[in-house]
């Protein structure tokens, strides 16, 4: 008998595993496990495949992704994490999913055919002017693994994030500077972020992801 506990609206712990309610019943997005409990279908959310699930497992408190919410997602890839956010925000929510690589955005576009709250945008997150029609959003999530990923977050938050809105960033030290110790890279990145945001939470993502710091920020 599995114990179900809702830890954030739309996010569940099934015993000690994270899951969301499947908005597209019977369909998997990656190779996640599906399970039915009391007539509802849940999708297990793999912390080794999604840094947001990893952060939840590490004890995340702030969760700005709500039913009907509007999200800007930078570095959407094939939509692993986006698909769980799609379960959470529901039919009236909107996830503007920016992805620069053509080979992966094709899968994201296929996903959006079955999940109308995902709006894929083939563009470079360095160029927010290109997708300015997105307008103001409730939350920004960034996972681009780029040397200038802090700058990318700042300029997107400047342009789109509502006042007091929450941003989340998964900082990959190896993408910023392979020659430096991860902790030194993180310290410098946090100093930069502090100029624009209040730092609410930070988690190293081991054992799910090596050399990643997941940071939760509030726009000043």
Q: Give residues in contact with ligand SAM (CB under 6 A).
A: 50-51, 74-75, 77, 80-81, 98-101, 104, 124-126, 143-146
CA 39 to chain centre: 28
CA 106 to chain centre: 19
Residue nearest to ligand SAM according to CB distances in the complex: 75
Nearest approach in angstroms of CB 10 to ligand SAM is 17
Alpha-carbon distances, residue 152 vs 73, 125, 146, 196 (angstroms):
12, 6, 9, 13
Nearest approach in angstroms of CB 79 to ligand SAM is 6
Nearest approach in angstroms of CB 202 to ligand SAM is 18
Q: Which is nearer to ligand SAM, 14 or 104 (CB)?
A: 104
Tell me the angle at which helices 149-160 and 182-194 cross, rounded to the nearest 10 degrees.
20
Q: Which is nearer to ligand SAM, 93 or 149 (CB)?
A: 149
Query: Length of the chain in residues, anyone?
Result: 220
Q: Which is nearer to ligand SAM, 24 or 126 (CB)?
A: 126
Q: Which is nearer to ligand SAM, 38 or 113 (CB)?
A: 113
Q: What angle do CA 15, 10, 122 make, to 5 degrees?
A: 120
Paired with 202 in beta bridges are 215
Nearest approach in angstroms of CB 186 to ligand SAM is 17
Block residue for tokens 């999530």:
141
């Amino acid at each position: 008998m599995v114990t179900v506990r809702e830890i954030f609206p739309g996010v569940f712990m099934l015993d000690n595993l994270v899951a969301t309610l499947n908005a597209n019943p019977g369909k998997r997005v990656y190779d996640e496990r599906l399970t039915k409990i009391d007539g509802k279908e849940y999708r297990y959310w793999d912390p080794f495949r999604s840094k947001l699930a990893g952060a939840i497992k590490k004890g995340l408190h702030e969760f700005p992704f709500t039913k009907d919410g509007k999200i800007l997602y930078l570095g959407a890839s094939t939509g692993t994490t986006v698909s769980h956010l799609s379960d959470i925000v529901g039919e009236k929510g909107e996830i503007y999913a920016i992805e620069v690589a053509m080979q992966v955005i094709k899968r994201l576009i296929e996903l959006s055919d079955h999940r109308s709250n995902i709006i894929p945008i083939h563009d470079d997150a360095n160029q927010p002017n290109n997708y300015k029609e997105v307008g103001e959003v409730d939350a920004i999530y960034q996972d681009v693994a780029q040397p200038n990923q802090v700058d990318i977050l700042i300029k997107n938050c400047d342009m789109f994030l509502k006042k007091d809105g929450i941003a989340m960033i998964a900082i990959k030290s190896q993408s910023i500077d392979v020659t430096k110790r991860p902790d030194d890279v993180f310290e410098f990145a946090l100093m930069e972020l502090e100029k624009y945001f209040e730092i609410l939470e930070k988690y190293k993502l081991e054992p799910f992801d090596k050399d990643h710091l997941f940071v939760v920020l509030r726009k000043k």
